[in-house]
Chains A and B, each alone.
Chain A
Amino acid sequence: MTKVFEGEHLLPGQLGQLFIILSFGSALLSAISYFYAANQRDQHDQSWYKLGRLGFFINSFSVVAIGACLFYIIYNHLFEYHYAWAHSSRTLPTHYIISSFWEGQEGSFWLWTFWQAVLGNILIWKAKTWEKPVMAVVSLSQVLLSSMLIGVEILGSRVGSSPFILLREAIEAPIFSRPDYLQYIKDGNGLNPTLQNYWMTIHPPTLFLGFASMIVPFAYAIAGLWQRRYKEWVSAAIPYALFAVMILGTGIIMGSFWAYESLNFGGFWNWDPVENASLIPWLVLISAVHVLIVYKNTGHSYFTATFLTLISFVLVLYASFLTRSGILGETSVHAFTDLGMFWHLVIDIMVFLVLMVGLLVLRWKELPFSQKEEETYSREFWMFVGSAFLALSCLQLVVVTSVPVWNAMFKTNIAPPANPITLYNIFQGGFAVVIALFLGFTQFLKYKKTDATRFFITTLVYMFVAALITGVIIYITGLYKLRVVFMLAMFGAVYGVLANAKVLGDALKGKLKLAGSAVAHIGFALLLVGALIAAGTSKIVSQNETGVIRVKDFDKAGNPRENIMLYKNEPVTMGDYQVTYFGDSLVAPNHYFKVDYKRFDASGKVKEHFVLMPNSQANPKFGLVSSPDTKHYLLHDLYTHITAAPIKEEESMAAGATEASHDHANEDSHYNPPVVYEASVGDTIRFREGYMILRGLNKQPKLQNIPLKDNDVAVGAMLDIVSHGKAFKSEPVFMIKDGNSFDFARKVDDAGLKLRLSKIIPEKNKFEIMVYQQPESAKPYIVMRAIEFPYINFFWSGTIIMVIGFLMSIFRRNSELRVVPVKTGAKPVKKKPALVR
């Protein structure tokens, strides 16, 4: 008994669902076929191999088709689908429709499978002899990812969550018993306003490309163990590992840029569990890359290199479990809920963890462990130690972020640390010191063996110079007010920049292939410098001094009061600035508050003048969501956001009404009782926030729709008003018509005034003027917070430099790859015999 519903478009959903099943089936076919192809001894039988490729091509096609169906649904506002209804709305512009596409879990899973399909095709094209085993692993991952989207009932429990579920299937409500229910669903939920930012259009695809590309080094490592090609896989995997590190790093920083530009927590990094979840695999893979390079150059540390490469991908899956299973519910701001995939995600992790551990155990005896001891004065040894510390810093992140997981596993009731930001900052600051020093001094070491005396001399000279520079930086930026560990981290970062600058200098003279790592290291160290100064010495400009004792460092002990209150058109001194909230502008659904900033020099002249427009959205679903506005300088940023405002409901905002409704009966209740003045022309009337001068009388005031007869009189009082340094004009009118007297009040909203010319007193040649003032609380106001972030541009530019460095390294490692197979066996390719060991 299928009910017929009017106006539903079922075709795109059914097609989409079909392609989901097809993508799952074809991935499974591909994985199995590649598995048999890789295990086959007979080189002439190509059937499994062809079947594997075919399966993967069908999978790629279906993944693209799923995306097309979903996009069609969202783009055409087919709200009969839960996904479109939950994540988009009719008012969204196209580029945010793209963002809403991956706002939901299903969409981001799709993004992941999509990138994995793209990478798989690149591997089919490029991997040559590695194709069969590597693609078997990639396809296996594709099988598990596609299963997350299936959304069908198997043995009474739902497997995966499909983006093509209809609204009436997803939500139970009486309305869905009506065949014409669609008429009542006018619009979707819309996109969370904090996600309506251009970074949200490009940050998720970048991040998921990063996550997806981590399968490649993992697959190579598995393939190496599986096919007993223990040493070969390393060179092939390094460029992919570097690529993954580069893209994931870019994605993470884009996320922090989004946080900085559009979230109002006041910074770029918050150690939120979701942020940590993306950082964890990144740190491990970076550490893996270094150990892979160590192994490639010296033959040492094979196990560590393999282990880190393998575990980094398992950690990607673990991160995905943390953010998607709903387990972080009580600790994270991010609104991820359990889609009933808790165990599904656990299985996903377990499959790859078992695969990894199983193969390592199985092949343990054959692994090429190096019997030699590393030299103390060798680069490989210290690179190895540095990588170990990098992995340790990651361990700390995992342990702390996973507190809810420990609680679930051991039935404990541990709360996360009360002040996680400080905890992470101190710990990670400590690790940063070690890591930054390592990425500095290892540059003076050579592989195999280094001359100790020379090494110590150069290292110490650079350390001395770095210490001097650090001293200056610490003094100028005020970093000395912080904990010692952050000063040490600054020293490490400066040292890292200097040491790698030397390498870069040498590289430019000839050894160009070393340039990539030097540039990446400089970028990373600069990023540290920027993060330390910006986060460590950012200062609240909007200190509220009322009721707070102004003693230096008082705020460390007491409560810093970070918000200030601004009434409309009343300038307030805030730090070096004079700020005025002077207006609003409405671009529905955003309410922009115009805040005027002025800075004066010693003589009182305006040195600087600009307007910031932080906005808030009174969204019926999400409440008031504020986005900051930032003034960027070369050396610092000034950041302003609204923490509270008497915001109107969206409906009235859309109509453009910012002022209270014009209900005359109630209107005077918005004002204090009037004060009556008798004034002559030229007199000044003072009121609480300024004064006004009665300039003169207008015998022909403008009156709309009221024709005046001969005996009628109308007089307007021309008033010049000055309130808080701003000038206004107003002309209340007094009128005698048909023997009755009337008067027309005039309002000056920006000054919070209502004025009446209530009487003319001819005998005294005076005019009675009634002044209504708004009480303080009825005036429009905003509560805002302003923060200064010094030297934040180091952070952003460090990122860009780091990415350039990664790119250079990828090209270098890739070119090595091309040279090696051709000449192997004939003679050592480069000076290092280790390459062909």
Chain B
Amino acid sequence: MKKSSILGIIVIAVAIAVIISTYSTSSTYGSFNDAKKSTEELHIVGHLNKVKELYYDPTKDANYFSFYMLDNKGEECKVVFTGTKPQDFERSEQIVLTGQMRGREFHASKILMKCPSKYTQDKIETTEYKSKQASL
């Protein structure tokens, strides 16, 4: 067999490995109900329950922020985020959380929110907040 064919096989094998591992590490969008059943991190799309209280008091703990979110199926859950409150959180239209359930609270490691802009109705802005620093 030609060396380049062997190489070709290796390349294809690595490519397949990449795709499989990507698929296996990817999660699906879920609901709070799914999160209760799972121990994995997953993504939940929903919106803020603006009636209930947002709690952030940096004088007590600068790294604790909690709020109530309704997922797309309408289920409500308390969400805890270890970090500062994202600015303009109250105005968010849609929230995508990444995290997992701990007891009855959903602990989010990442919040991606979309805010309508005050001035332009034709634009939606997206902002992401992470509680942890990116690291290797």
Q: Which residues of A contact B61 (CB under 8 A)?
A: 546-547
Contacts A86-B120, A415-B29, A561-B82 given; does A623 touch B126 at CB 8 Å: no
Q: How many A-B residue pairs have CB under 8 A?
A: 162
Question: In the complex, what residues of A have CB within 8 A of residue B96's CB?
Answer: 330
Please state if B122 and A559 are interface contacts (CB–CB under 8 Å). no
The residue from B59, B118, B132, B135 contacting A621, defined by CB atoms under 8 A apart: B118
Residues of A within 8 A of B112 (CB): 330, 333
Inter-subunit contact A538/B18 (CB<8 Å): no
Contacts of A601 in B (CB 8 A): none
Q: Across the interface, name the chain B residue whose C-beta is closest to A86.
A: B120
Q: Which of A158-201 contact B (CB under 8 A)?
A: 170-171, 189
Interface stretch, picked from A219-227, A357-365, A417-425, A463-471, is A417-425
Given contacts A335-B125, A388-B7, A418-B43, contact A267 B133 (CB under 8 A): yes
- Residues in A436-455 with C-beta less than 8 Å from chain B: none
Instruction: A662 to B106: give the CA distance in the assembly, Å.
Output: 43
What is the size category of the interface that chain B forms with chain A? Answer: 35 or more
Contact (Cβ within 8 A) B18 A787:
no
Q: Which residues of B contact A384 (CB under 8 A)?
A: 4, 7
A329 to B96, CA, bound (A): 11
Chain A residues within an 8 Å CB radius of B14: 389, 392
Contact between B136 and A536 (Cβ–Cβ < 8 Å)?
Answer: yes
Which residues on the B side are within 8 Å of A734 (C-beta)?
none
Report Cα–Cα, A706/B87, bound state, in Å: 47
Given A189-B119, A547-B61, does the pair A532, B42 have CB atoms closer than 8 Å? no
Contacting chain B: which of A122-130, A395-403, A605-613? A395-403
Does residue A414 face the partner (Cβ distance < 8 Å to B)? yes
Q: Quick one: given A334-B126, A395-B15, A620-B118, are A644 and B85 in contact (CB under 8 Å)?
A: yes
A835 vs chain B, min Cβ distance (A):
23
Is the CB of B41 closer than 8 A to any CB of chain A?
yes
Answer whether residue A681 sits at the interface, using C-beta atoms and an 8 A cutoff: no
Contact assessment for A562 and B134 in the assembled complex, using a CB-CB cutoff below 8 Å: no
Which of A330, A337, A395 is the most central at the interface, judged by chain B CB atoms within 10 Å of its CB? A330
* CB nearest neighbor in B for A334: B126
In the complex with contacts A564-B62, A783-B58, A171-B122 CB distance below 8 A = yes
Take A403-B26, A429-B136, A561-B63 as given contacts and tell me if A171 and B120 are in contact as well, using a CB distance cutoff of 8 Å.
yes
Are B22 and A417 neighbours in the complex by a CB distance under 8 Å? yes
Q: B104 within 8 Å of A by Cβ?
A: no
Q: Give complex CA distance A644, B81 in Å.
A: 14
Cβ contact within 8 Å between B134 and A265: yes
Chain B residues whose CB sits within 8 angstroms of the CB of A486 once the complex forms = 136
Contact with A along B82-97 (1 / 0, CB 8 A): 1111011000000010
Contact of A419 among B41, B45, B82 (CB under 8 A): B41
A416 to B96, CA, bound (A): 12
Cβ-based interface call for A482 (8 A): yes
Which residue of chain A has the shortest Cβ distance to B132 in the bound complex? A560
Closest chain-B Cβ to A27's Cβ sits at a distance in Å of 29
Which listed residue, B25, B88, B121, B130, touches A423 by the CB 8 Å rule?
B25
A329 to B94: give the CA distance in the assembly, Å.
12
Q: CB of A381 within 8 A of chain B? A: yes
Do B18 and A427 touch across chains, with their CB atoms under 8 A apart?
Answer: yes
Q: Which of A399, A416, A418 has the most CB of B within 10 A?
A: A418
CA distance A547 to B60 in the complex (A): 11
The contact string, 1 if C-beta is below 8 Å from chain A, for chain B 40-67, is: 1111010000000000111101110000
- Select A396's contact among B22, B56, B85, B122, beta carbons within 8 Å: B22
A785 to B88, CA, bound (A): 20
CB pair B83 A562 closer than 8 Å: yes
Distance (whole angstroms) from the CB of B25 to the closest CB of chain A:
5
Which listed residue (A374, A418, A623) contacts B41, Cβ 8 A? A418
Q: Judge whether B39 is part of the interface by a CB distance below 8 angstroms.
A: no
The answer, yes or no, to whether A385 is at the interface (CB within 8 Å) is: yes
Query: Would you call A421 and B26 a contact (CB within 8 A)?
Result: no
Cβ 8 A contact of B43, one of A171, A415, A787:
A415
Residues of chain B lying within 8 A (CB to CB) of residue A538: 133, 135
Q: Shortest beta-carbon distance, B134 to chain A, in Å?
A: 5
Cβ of B136: which chain A residues have Cβ within 8 Å of it?
A: 425, 429, 482-483, 486, 532, 535-536
Contact A621 B83 (CB under 8 A): no
- Chain B nearest CB: distance from A394 CB in Å? 11
B115 within 8 A of A: yes
By beta carbon, the residue of chain A nearest B56 is: A644
- Report if B3 contacts A (CB, 8 A): yes
- Interface contact A559-B131, CB-CB below 8 Å: yes
**By the criterion CB–CB under 8 Å, are B3 and A376 in contact?**
yes
* Interchain CA distance A189-B119 in the complex, whole Å: 7
Can you list 9 A-B pairs with a CB-CB distance of less than 8 A? A337-B124, A374-B3, A396-B22, A399-B18, A400-B22, A413-B28, A427-B18, A427-B21, A787-B133
Name A's B-contacting residues (CB within 8 A). 86, 170-171, 189, 265-267, 270, 329-330, 332-335, 337, 373-374, 376, 381, 384-385, 388-389, 392, 395-396, 399-400, 403, 413-419, 421, 423, 425, 427, 429, 482-483, 486, 532, 535-536, 538, 540, 544, 546-547, 559-565, 620-625, 643-644, 776-777, 781, 783, 785, 787
The 4 A-B residue pairs with the shortest CB-CB distance in the complex, in nearest-first order: A623-B88, A536-B136, A624-B87, A418-B41
Known pairs A563-B62, A623-B115. 8 more at Cβ < 8 A?
Answer: A266-B134, A384-B4, A417-B26, A427-B21, A536-B135, A538-B133, A561-B63, A565-B58
